[in-house]
Amino acid sequence: MRITAVSTAVRSVILQETQFRRGRPVAGTQDILFVRVETESGHVGFGEASSWAIFTGLTANASKVVVDEIIGPEITGLDVSRTHEIARALDRYPHLPAHPRSAVDMALADVNARILGVPTYRLLGGSDASWALSYSISEAEPDAVRSIAETRIGEGYRIFKLKAGSHPELDGARISALRHAAPKAAIRVDFNGSATEAGLRELSPVLQTCDVDFVEQPYPAGQWGRMRSTRAWFESRIALDESIGGEDDVRRVGEDGLADIIALKLGRFGSSSRLIEAGTLAARLGMSIYAGAMNESRLGMSASAATFSTLDNIVEGCDFYYPYTVLGEPGFTGGAEVVDAELRLGSDAGHGIDLPMGWFV
């Protein structure tokens, strides 16, 4: 069945909560690129690209141009079921950005699953396992950390990721406040690359006393030597996130023993199959995986959960809460649903989501 059209739409979705990125508040709206793939049989599939330039290097409009001018023309006319042939066609562009590529890959998985009449996880060889959600807390004041944790615990959350490093003088008190509010929860501390050796040494006793599960991405991506020397004395488990841009990074981190856990994100790998290969390699190298996400809508989260469901070396918790608490109504429903802070994949064909036709004119 040939691909007859690849179309795109950038939509603005309201943020229901103020978010903090690198310590600065972000409110208002968020642009998202959606992709629609259509076949000659009239089947359609949908995908999306995360669009926080601080993480992806691309705005939604920049990703749209990549799909409209490169990926769309390259794959139009190809057989939608020949997924390896499509991947090889795109491999002719070695510098193709991963996020728009992933949006198209997501749409292709959706259309192929719909043609077969199965959920995406079935197409990919995964399962409909449910996913305990981890809630990320970025607020600076320890009192705010405490009250957010209490609210989320009331909703069923039992895993938290505290964003740290923006106000290092407060981090010890913030971690203690979170532990006090959530005595039984799993607590992870994510520096997004903003920690220092001295800061980690100072924080180390608090990390131990508060039973912090792991510390994520202390230094910026690429600072391998710094990570290696910290591993020699740092007692907490380490997860790397921004450091992992592809399979080569997974191999390096595993072979050098630089982390216990790696966070993978579908958009960053460009396709489900690449993420699954990286996750399988991580297992072979003795590492666990954290099911990461950025700021995708329920479409991207459903596709991510289906992809991660193929792997078994995954630590509990995932980043998939975002569209269910932070993003406002995006103009569609369906896909994975959240019940008691757990994400559950549905049984509808594909990702289980239909985007409005009128968006793609």
Give the interface with Mg ion as residue ranges (CB under 5 A).
190, 216, 241
Q: Of the two residues 261 and 305, which places its CB atom closer to Mg ion in the complex?
A: 261
Closest distance to Mg ion from the beta carbon of 205 (Å): 23
Q: Of the two residues 300 and 352, which places its CB atom closer to Mg ion in the complex?
A: 300
Closest distance to Mg ion from the beta carbon of 192 (Å): 6
Closest distance to Mg ion from the beta carbon of 4 (Å): 39
Q: Of the two residues 8 and 230, which places its CB atom closer to Mg ion in the complex?
A: 230
Q: Of the two residues 100 and 292, which places its CB atom closer to Mg ion in the complex?
A: 292
Closest distance to Mg ion from the beta carbon of 263 (Å): 6
Q: Of the two residues 105 and 241, which places its CB atom closer to Mg ion in the complex?
A: 241
Closest distance to Mg ion from the beta carbon of 325 (Å): 18
Closest distance to Mg ion from the beta carbon of 163 (Å): 8
Q: Of the two residues 216 and 296, which places its CB atom closer to Mg ion in the complex?
A: 216
**Pairwise CA distance, residues 254 & 54, whole Å:** 26
**Pairwise CA distance, residues 247 & 216, whole Å:** 19
Q: Of the two residues 48 and 216, which places its CB atom closer to Mg ion in the complex?
A: 216
Closest distance to Mg ion from the beta carbon of 191 (Å): 8
**Pairwise CA distance, residues 111 & 303, whole Å:** 12
Sheet holding 238-240, edge to edge: 135-137, 159-163, 186-190, 214-216, 238-240, 261-264, 288-291, 314-318
Q: Of the two residues 216 and 260, which places its CB atom closer to Mg ion in the complex?
A: 216
Reduce the DSSP state of residue 66 to 3 states and report it. helix
Closest distance to Mg ion from the beta carbon of 193 (Å): 9
**Pairwise CA distance, residues 321 & 161, whole Å:** 12
Query: Which tokens sit at 354?
Result: 């239909």
Closest distance to Mg ion from the beta carbon of 292 (Å): 7
Of 265, 321, 313, nearest to 297 (Cα)? 321
Within 13 Å, how many C-alpha atoms sit on residue 355's CB side?
30
Q: Helix 298-308 to helix 98-116 angle, to the nearest 10 degrees?
A: 80
Reduce the DSSP state of residue 136 to 3 states and report it. strand
Q: Of the two residues 139 and 241, which places its CB atom closer to Mg ion in the complex?
A: 241
Q: Which residues pair with 103 in a beta bridge?
A: none
Q: Find the residue with minimal CB distance to Mg ion.
A: 241
Residues whose CB is less than 8 angstroms from the CB of residue 293 and which lie 6 or more positions away in sequence, other chains included: 50, 265, 266, 300, 301, 304, 318, 319, 320, 322
The enclosing H or E element of 6 equals: strand 3-14
**Pairwise CA distance, residues 206 & 173, whole Å:** 9
Of 334, 282, 259, 347, nearest to 46 (Cα)? 334
Q: Of the two residues 168 and 334, which places its CB atom closer to Mg ion in the complex?
A: 168
Of 270, 214, 257, 258, nearest to 86 (Cα)? 270
Closest distance to Mg ion from the beta carbon of 309 (Å): 21
Query: Which tokens sit at 283?
Result: 């297992």
